[in-house]
Amino acid sequence: MLPDRERHALREIEAELKASDPAFAAAFSGRKLRSPRRWPLLLVLCDVTAVVMLVVGLFARDAALVLWGTVSAGALVAWHIARAESARESTEDGAPAAGPA
């Protein structure tokens, strides 16, 4: 969190920007910088990649692929758990959920 002085300064800058160039300010006002729909897609893509690395590594008898597939699968499990926890906490706080985990 920002201190009150910095928040006030940012609000003043925002007001000046809206007054001087409303079209520019409107272009950014309703747009989020991060698209929440991209994260689940990226997570599924990473899941598929980890499974492919494991399967190809097992069939090719390549220890490096099996190792990296296992490491990435473990990291993805942690990522799934973290997303589920954050979604659960946001619904407990009364805020809408970020989407499917």
Contact yes or no for 43/83 (Cβ under 8 A): yes
Q: How far is CA 20 from CA 7, 8, 16, 32, in A?
A: 20, 18, 6, 22
Is the pTM higher than 0.75? Answer: no
Q: Where are the beta strands (DSSP E) in the chain?
A: none
For residue 2, the one-letter residue type is L
38-85 pLDDT per residue, tens? 778 888 899 999 999 999 999 999 999 999 999 999 999 998 898 888
d(CA 41, CA 35): 11
